[in-house]
Amino acid sequence: MILRRSAVVAAFLLLCCLVKVSVGTGQFELQILSMHNVNGELLSGGCCDGTRTAADRKCTRDECDTFFKVCLKEYQSRVSAAGPCSFGVGSTPVLGGNTFAFRSSVRNDKSRIVLPFSFAWPRSYTLIVEAWDFNNETSGADGRLIEKASHSGMINPSP
């Protein structure tokens, strides 16, 4: 009886060594295709660079230096930027000025944001995308907010 029990325990331990553990990993990808900000305005109503002309109220001087920040978090029915981006954060370099477009058929790594994750994808998520003006004259990397958009939804993983 003792010998049989030892053999069962040994077989169980051997089986445990052969079992492979599965790990849920993947990546969430977003590609910026275009930006349309004809007047070069910030979300606050100010100009990215310079002031407004008195005649047509358009922003003068240089164009915006547009880059994007992304926050991926758990599903929220009422989206709030407060709190951590629990699924990941990412950003692009400066992609263009006030208005630009990339062809969707061309792979453009500068406009692609990849957020890797190492958990089982929950299907539901909230995505917050912000367009920012990079300003060399101020504190730099933070910039000033041009536009903000959010989306809460569900997506199934694909191979």
**What are the tens digits of pLDDT across the range 59-104?**
877 789 999 999 999 999 888 888 899 999 999 999 999 989 987 7
The domain of 68 spans 23-154
Nearest CA among 128, 146, 129 for reference residue 64: 146
Distance CA 86, CA 7 (A): 46
Residue 1 lies in a domain: no
In a domain, 133, yes or no: yes
| Any domain includes 6 | no
Residue 148 lies in a domain: yes
Is position 132 within any domain? yes
In angstroms, the CA 6 to CA 42 distance is 73
pTM of the model: 0.79
CB 29 within 8 A of CB 125: no
The pLDDT tens digits for 16-69 are: 666 666 667 889 999 999 999 988 899 988 888 877 877 777 787 778 999 999
Q: Residue 83: inside a domain, yes or no?
A: yes
Tell me if 12 is assigned to some domain: no
Q: Does a structural domain hold residue 61? A: yes
As a whole number of angstroms, the distance between CA 24 and CA 133 comes to 36
Residue 133 to residue 19: CA distance in whole angstroms: 51
Report the domain count for the chain: 1
Taking phi over 0 as left and psi of -120 to 50 as alpha, with beta for the rest, 123 belongs to left
Q: What is the CATH number of the domain that holds 141?
A: 2.60.40.3510
